[in-house]
Amino acid sequence: MAAALGTLPNLDGLDAAGLKALILCQHEQLLSHRNEIEHLKLLIAKLRRMQFGRKSEKVARQIEQLELKLEELEAAKVPPASEPITQSSAQASSLVKQARQPLPEHLPREVKNHAPKEETCAECGGRLRPLGEDVSEILKYVPARFKVTRYVRPELSCTSCDRIVQAPAPSRPIERGLAGPG
C-alpha cells in the first residue's frame, strides 16, 4: 500500500516473500502502464485515419483528449492504481448526449392545431375529452427572417373506454429535426 503512494516501506524489515510481493506488484503496475500507453497510441492512430468525413470535428476532439492523456501517462512514472484510464472512460465524456435547447423566444411564432378527425370514440362511440397535447416546433426561413411554426396535437381520451386518440404528426424534412423545408 505504501508503494502505491510513492514511498517505499522499510526494506530492511521485510522478509524475502514480502520483497518478492513488492517487486511483483510494481512490475504489474509498470506493465499495465506500458499497455495503457500502447493502447492509447493505437487508438490515436485509428482516430487519425477516421479523421476525414462527416464527423471529423468530433474525432479531432477525441484525438486531442487522448493525446493529452497519453502525455500525462508518459510523463508519470507509475499510474495511480486506484484510477485506471480505459477507452470507455475516455470516450464516455464525449458521448454524453446533450439536451436540445429551445428555439429563442424572440422569433415570431405561428401555431397550427392538428386535432383528430374523430369527435367520438371509434370503438365504443363515447365522447372524447382532452387528456393533454404534444407540442413540437420547426424553424422555418421566410425570406429575410426566421419564424417558428408550432404544431399542437391535442390528445383526447374516451370517457367510456379510456382509449386515447391523437392526430398524426406532420412530416418533417429531417426526422426529429428542427429545420423546416425552407
Q: How many separate domains does the chain show?
A: 2
pTM of the model: 0.34
CB atoms within 10 A of CB 146: 14
Which range marks the domain in which residue 86 is found? 11-92
Do 104 and 75 lie in a common domain? no
In order along its 182 residues, the chain shows pLDDT tens digits of: 444 445 666 777 778 888 888 888 888 888 888 888 888 888 888 877 776 666 666 777 788 888 888 777 777 755 444 444 444 444 544 555 567 788 888 888 888 888 888 888 888 888 888 888 888 888 887 787 888 888 888 888 888 887 888 888 888 888 777 777 76
Do 84 and 66 lie in a common domain? yes
Distance between CA atoms of 165 and 116, rounded to whole angstroms?
7
